Structure formats: C-alpha cells, structure tokens
Amino acid sequence: MKEKILNTAAEMFLHYGFKSVTMDDIAEKLGMSKKTIYNYYPTKTKLVHAAATHIFHSIQNGLDEIRAAKPHPLEENFEMKQFVMHRLKDEKSSPQYQLQKYYPRIYEELNSKQFELMESCVQENLERGIKLGCYRKDIPVDFISKIYFKAMQNIKDPNLFPPEEYSKIYLMEQLMEYHLRAICTEKGIKKLEELIVKHE
C-alpha cells in the first residue's frame, strides 16, 4: 500500500506540481481516505520528500543502465535525453520550481544529489569522447560539467522559458545540440549530424 501511494503521488506531482496536488487529490485518485495515506505519510511534506527522492532514484537507475551499456559518447547524450524526457513527462507544471519555492529544504537536498549525478555522467562522457577523438582534447572537462548542469536547471525556469511558448523537449534538444557543437571535433560533428537525423 505504501508503495502504491508513493508511486501515485510521484506521478501526480510530476504532472501537476508539488504545490498544486493536495492530499485530497491523491486520496481521490487512489480511491481511499486521507487517513489511510496519513498512516504511511504523516504530513504532505514527508510524502513530497519521499516522492521527490523516488523520482530521483528512478532517473538515476535509468541513467546508470545507459552508462553501463557504454554506447558511443554522442549516442549516450541522445539516449539519456530521451530517457529523462520520458520519465519526467515533459514537466508541464514545472515541478522543480514548485519544489524550490514551497519545499526549499527538499529541493536543496535533491539539487545536491542531482549535481553529483550529472557531474559524474558528463565528466565520464567527455573523457570517453576525447579518447575517441569526437570531442576536442583541449576542453575544460570540470568547467563544462558544471556549466552544463546549471544550463539544464535554467531551461526549467518558467520565467525564462514560459511553458506555453517552449516545450521541455525542444529546450533540451536545443541545449544538448548547443553543448555538443561547442565541444565536438570535425569527426564528432559528422557523427552528431547523423544522430540528429536519426532521432528526428
């Protein structure tokens, strides 16, 4: 029962936002009383924390599986983007910003974990790409891994990119291509353009 509550709450928070979804909404969706939910999660904050952590771990596990398969470094970027977008369901409600505004402690905790995960993913990808001659040898790996993380955060800012004007898929595609074209060698650009056509 606890897992069912957690999974349903996580899906609803992703779709509608952490602030927008109430305990009444979750209870109605599950066809149970709020009292039953409170038996497992005494407060909404505890449920938000559990759901946000659950979402993070599900994404982490998916990314780890992609990395373990060792695809071509450029292909890895496309696979990760596709996985994350599928898991986050285009985030029409900007749940990250609701979490940041209404549950700042939870946001900061997860933000730190997200940074560690993405920094590790990007650094490993860059190092493999350099060895294969797809990325330039002179790129500052540490700087790029940090700045790419911040850019990923900023494209989720509804004030910068209003969701009614920009879809998250479009923004992620544009950012990824911008990132890759800046670091690719001629060999890498050729492979990148093949992948863009393949994934259209």
* Tens digit of each residue's pLDDT (9 = 90 or more) over 85-108: 888 765 555 788 889 999 999 999
User: Where residue 59 sits, what CATH number does that domain have?
Assistant: 1.10.357.10
pLDDT value for 93: 57
Position 178 confidence tier, pLDDT thresholds 50, 70, 90: very high
Burial 128-155 (b: 16+ CB within 10 A, else e): bbbeeebbeeeeebeebbbebbeebbee
Domain membership of residue 118 (yes or no) is: yes
143 belongs to a structural domain: yes
Sign of the torsion formed by the C-alpha atoms of 72, 135, 60 and 175: negative
CA distance 161 to 167: 9
Single-letter amino acid code for the residue at 172: M
Its pTM stands at: 0.89
Residue at 19 is within a domain: no
Asked if residue 38 belongs to a domain, the reply is no
Q: Report if residue 85 sits inside a domain.
A: yes
In a domain, 181, yes or no: yes
30 Cβ contact list (under 8 Å, min separation 6): 4, 5, 8, 37
For tokens 């690719």, name the residue. Answer: 184
Tell whether 72 is covered by a domain.
yes
The domain of 177 spans 52-198
The answer to whether residue 81 sits within a structural domain is yes
Number of domains in the chain: 1
